[in-house]
Chains A and B, each alone.
Chain A
Amino acid sequence: MDIIVCVKHVPETAEAELKIDQTGKNVEKTGLVYDINEWDDYALEEAVRIKEKLGGTVTAITMGAQDSESTLRKCLARGADTAIRLTDPKFENSDAYATAKILHSTIKNLHYDLILTGMQAGDDGNAAVGPILAEMLAIPHATMVKKLELDTGTAKVNRELEGGLEEQLEIKLPALVSVQTGINEPRYVSIMGIRKAMQKEIKVMALADTGLTENDVGIAGSWISIDKLYVPPVEKQAEFLKGTPDEIATKIAEILKSRGLI
Chain B
Amino acid sequence: MPEIFVLAEHRQGAIRDITFEMLTKAHEIAEKTNKELTAVILGKDVQAHAKTLAEYAKTVILIQDPKLENFNSEAYKKTLTKLVTEHKPTLVMMGHTSYGIELAPRLAAALNTPLATDIIDLAFEGDTLTVTRQMYGGKVNVKATLHKAETYMTTIRQATFAAQKPAQPANGQITETPSPLAEEITEKRFIQYVLPPPGGVDITAAEKLIGIGRGIKDQANMPQMEELAKTLGAVLACSRPIVDKGWLPNDRQVGSSGKTVKPKLYIAIGISGAFQHVLGMKSSDLIIAINKDPKAPIFSFADYGIIEDLFKIVPSLKNKVYELKGQKT
Contact = CB atoms under 8 A, between A and B. Distances in A.
Interface in A107-135: 119, 122-132, 134-135
Interface string B134-156: 11111111111111000000000
Contacts of A164: 195-196, 250-251, 253, 257-259
B143 A236 contact: no
Nearest to B103: A131
Interface stretch (B25-33, B40-48, B109-117): B109-117
A231 B300 CA distance: 12
Contacts of B20: none
Interface string B169-211: 0000000000000000011111111111000000000001000
Given A20-B140, A126-B118, A172 B188 contact: yes
A134 B187 CA distance: 12
A169 B272 contact: no
Contact of B316 (A126, A134, A224, A249): A249
B277 to A, nearest CB: 12
B12 to A, nearest CB: 9
Interface residue range, chain A:
35 or more
A49 B178 CA distance: 45
Interface in B287-329: 287-289, 292-295, 297, 299-308, 312-313, 316-317, 319-321, 323-325, 328
A101 B292 CA distance: 40
Contact of A15 (B251, B272, B316, B317): B272
Contacts, number: 285
Contact of B106 (A132, A248, A261): A132
B320 A142 contact: no
A66 interface: no
Contact of B140 (A27, A171, A238, A261): A27
A135 B73 CA distance: 11
A169 B251 CA distance: 23
Given A18-B136, A252-B306, A144 B98 contact: yes
Contact of B195 (A97, A165, A170, A262): A165
A70 interface: no
Contacts of A225: 144-145, 147
Nearest to B274: A14
Given A122-B137, A166-B194, A17 B98 contact: no
Contact of A256 (B192, B287, B321): B321
29 contacts: A13-B136, A15-B215, A18-B139, A27-B135, A123-B136, A140-B188, A162-B97, A163-B258, A164-B196, A164-B250, A164-B257, A166-B193, A167-B194, A168-B193, A181-B241, A223-B113, A223-B147, A224-B115, A227-B143, A232-B134, A232-B297, A236-B300, A240-B299, A241-B304, A249-B313, A256-B265, A256-B321, A261-B286, A262-B321
